[in-house]
Amino acid sequence: MVYFYVYGLFLCTLVSCLAFFLTFKKIKSANYEVVDGLRHDGNVESKISLEDEARPFLFFSLICFENQILPVEEDVRVKYDEMPSVVEVACCYLFNLKGKSSERIIEISRALGVMDWCHRTLTKKNSEYLDLSVKFVGLSRSESQLDRLFSIVQDDDHRYSFLALEAISRIGNRAYIDMCISYTGYFKEYSRSQKYELLKIFSWSCPAIIIDGLIKDETPLDVKVLSFETMRGVGAPSQAVDAARKHLNSGDELLRASAYGMLARSGQASHDDVVAGVNDSSWRVRLEAANAAVYLCPFPNDVFKALILDPNWDVSLKASQLAMRHGNMGVHLRNIAENAR
């Protein structure tokens, strides 16, 4: 009896779940059919006459038009309760699109009232959508909201203040970025990952900020280290390489290692640079110097000897890999063996 009861309960649950899934799929499919139809329909009236259940998909449909003149009438604007969802979609596209595609998303957002909604939300400190609006303003690079964003940077809630820092960083206004750096003391209250995220944005929005920070003495060491890591990811510009040479003899081993890492990324390390690096007291520096040595042709025997005999396993392994890449590992090993007699 118990067996049949459990079996029946399981069967009812399975049928209910299947019914829910099919109903949800049908509703979703119907909405996407509306959107798909809009992709091929240039009639503005058809967009305005969307049924209420399909209106949340309005933004999706509009972005599919390549050369459509966007309507700006009031009845095409997104309803208030739909706005957060539409803003999230807009942020997703702005984060992934660049150039004209990004400009077009901003134009559509303005036509749908998204821009105005976000600007109004920024003035409401206790709004549950403040974080979403800050994100959109940053991604859309709206300079008209810089004053408001900077006031949020000064908020005691670091969650909101960091989002505002990100937004100002994306907008790339040098004056406001300098104000943020001054106010936060080079972001000293924020985590390492947050600092790295900001510097990564600077690398494309305002790279001069990073270069200046590498040169200035007052820039914290951890920020300089992260700055070198960031610039390595964007191709090691010449100014960053020049700054790296100034830090090869730094008293901080992480900064020295980061500076050698920059030289390794650029391929501009000299023989003297590498020799000094492979004889450094820090294995991290020696490892980065080994990476920089790969660009020295022919691969110097004195450098190889220092690296292959290094007490740190990672460094000696790197030496053998580099020598094999150069194709003359046997020559180097024979030379070392002969000199050891």
Pairwise CA distance, residues 270 & 142, whole Å: 45
Measured from the Cβ of residue 261, the count of other Cβ atoms closer than 10 Å reads 24
- Tokens for 241? 């390489």
Over residues 262-308, the pLDDT tens digits come to 888 888 888 888 888 888 899 999 998 888 887 776 667 777 778 88
Q: Is 327 left (phi over 0), alpha (psi -120 to 50) or beta?
A: left
- Are the C-beta atoms of residues 329 and 307 closer than 8 Å to each other? no
Q: Residue 215 carries which side chain, given as an amino acid letter?
A: I
10 Å CB burial of residue 339 (0-12, 13-18, 19+) is exposed
Measured from the Cβ of residue 303, the count of other Cβ atoms closer than 10 Å reads 24
pLDDT, residue 179, reads 94
Over residues 120-158, the pLDDT tens digits come to 888 887 778 888 999 999 999 989 999 999 999 988 777
Displacement of CA 270 from its chain's centroid (Å): 32
Q: Is the pLDDT of residue 113 over 60?
A: yes
10 Å CB burial of residue 199 (0-12, 13-18, 19+) is buried
pTM beyond 0.85: the answer is no
Name the more confident of 333 and 270: 270
- Are the C-beta atoms of residues 186 and 223 closer than 8 Å to each other? yes
Over residues 22-77, the pLDDT tens digits come to 444 443 444 444 444 444 444 434 443 444 444 444 554 554 444 444 444 444 55
